[in-house]
Amino acid sequence: MSDKPNPLAGYFRKPELYVQIPTSGAFNPEIEKTVLDEIGILPMTAIDEISMTNPDALLNGEAIVELIKSCVPSIPEPRELCNVDAELLFLAIKLATYGKDISHLHTCSHCKAQAEYNIDINQILDKFPEVKKLEPVEWGDLKIHIQPPKLESVTRLALIDVEQARILNSIQKTAESNTGENNAELEMAKQFAISFRKVSKQNVDLLINSIHKIETPEGDVYEYEHIVEFIDNVPTSVVKDVKNKIDSLDIKTTDLSVFEFVCEECNEADKVNFELNPVNFS
Ligand SMILES: [Zn+2]
């Protein structure tokens, strides 16, 4: 290593664009206020690009966290980002790296004619919702603070999905290779896996992950297990209030990435959904 400054430093990558995130950092006090107005986006390096092709790293969320660390250095803790913010940053990084156009070869579902379509990433970025900080749900002397889903919890949900699918798959394989008395037992195990998945995914995770903290006169509670136990032991009206509050956040980025292609051959339209979250790419 040489002590003298690298004469090539002036040629290192620079921000290609500046963005604001949908939540304006309302749920991330660790991000500096001055950063939030203009978040600089660097293009990917060769190493970034290679790591985005590693399916394991993509799946456990490590790839997107590392990518944001590399390309959005002003974000101190990418893991703490709200998912909606991470999705926007991911698209912005793609734009900074490859330019605004994504080309897509689409096969018409009506006449099977193929054509190349261009999608402008700016169009998707412009459609992102603005997510405001919410007043907490009050119950007695408690204040339940709601947040949009975090990158980490969405990644965890995706992992649970994969895990459950794996369990189901192996149960099915065992069931196929066995005949007779074991079947009832296996069927039960299968049903258990299915119901476990539904319950864990819909009820618990979504709700709990949307609770940022519970403010009590004695202090704030952040612990996941404590909040799970709390939700299990309060009247249903409280849970409903929390659910309504979460619904009022209304963050639906799935609609943002739906594009309609009108076929030049038969004039029929097809809707195509582009996955925004790289966790779901694999
Ligand atoms: Zn067609």
pLDDT digits (tens, 9 = 90+) for 92-112: 999 999 999 888 888 999 999
What region, left, alpha or beta, does residue 138 occupy, with left being phi > 0 and alpha being psi -120 to 50 degrees? Answer: beta
200, pLDDT greater than 60: no
**Co-location of 120 and 183 in the same domain:** no
Where is mean pLDDT largest: 156-160, 266-270, 278-282?
266-270
Q: pLDDT: is 144 or 192 the higher one?
A: 144
What is the pTM (predicted TM-score) of this model? Answer: 0.77
In a domain, residue 264? The reply is no
* Residue 188, token pair as written in the block: 């039960």
Based on the domain organization, do 120 and 212 belong to the same domain? no
Name the phi and psi angles at 34, rounded to 5. -65, -25
Instruction: With beta carbons less than 8 A apart as the criterion, state whether 71 and 42 touch.
Output: yes
Residues 43 and 157 occupy one common structural domain: no
Run of H or E including 258: strand 258-262
Q: Which domain holds residue 245?
A: 137-249
In a domain, 76, yes or no: yes
More confident site: 144 or 174:
144
| 45 lies in the same domain as 21 | yes
Residue 39 inside a domain? The answer is yes
- Please indicate, yes or no, if residue 204 is contained in any of the structural domains: yes
Q: Is residue 278 part of a domain?
A: no
Cα 116 to middle of ligand 1, angstroms: 13
> Cα separation of 174 and 178, whole Å?
6
Centre of ligand 1 to C-alpha 105, Å, is: 13
Q: Report angle CA 41, 45, 49 to the nearest 5 degrees.
A: 105
Is residue 37 classed as helix, strand or coil in its secondary structure? coil
- Asked if residue 198 and residue 101 are part of one domain, the reply reads no
How far is the C-alpha of 257 from the C-alpha of 109, rounded, in Å?
Answer: 19
Specify the range with the lowest mean pLDDT, choosing from 41-55, 142-156, 160-174, 214-228: 160-174
> Strand pairing partners for 190?
none
Ligand 1 midpoint to CA 117 (Å)? 13
Instruction: Report the pLDDT value the prediction gives residue 40, as an integer from 0 to 100.
Output: 96
Same domain, 20 and 38: yes
Q: Smallest Cα–Cα separation from 86: which of 118, 123, 131? A: 131
When pLDDT is cut at 50, 70 and 90, the band that residue 214 belongs to is: very high
Q: Do 14 and 97 lie in a common domain?
A: yes
Number of domains composing the chain: 2
Domain-located, residue 270: no
Residues 91, 188 within the same domain = no
Task: Report the separation in Å between the CA atom of 103 and the middle of ligand 1, taken as the mean of its atom positions.
Answer: 18
The CA 266 to ligand 1 mean position distance, Å, reads 4
Segment 3-26 mean pLDDT: 92
61 with 164, same domain: the answer is: no
Residues with C-beta atoms within 5 A of ion ligand 1 = 108, 110-111, 113, 263, 265-266
Are 15 and 42 in contact by the 8 Å Cβ rule? The answer is yes
The verdict on 223 and 164 lying in the same domain is yes
Average pLDDT, the chain: 84
Predicted pLDDT at 103: 82
| Residue 126 counted as domain residue | yes
Q: Are residues 100 and 23 in the same domain?
A: yes
Separation of CA 261 and ligand 1 centre (Å): 10
Q: Ligand 1 centroid to 113 CA: how many Å?
A: 5
Name the more confident of 45 and 256.
Answer: 45
Residue 266 lies in a domain: no
Angle (CA) 65 68 74, round 5°: 125
CB neighbour list of residue 117: distance below 8 Å, 6 or more residues apart: 103, 104, 105, 106, 259, 261
Residue 124 Cα, ligand 1 centroid: separation in angstroms?
25
Quote the CA–CA distance of 56 and 154 in Å, as a whole number: 16
Residues 81 and 165 in one domain: no
- Ligand 1 center from residue 135 Cα (angstroms): 49
Distances (CA, A) of 244 to 25, 146, 194, 209, 240: 22, 11, 26, 15, 6
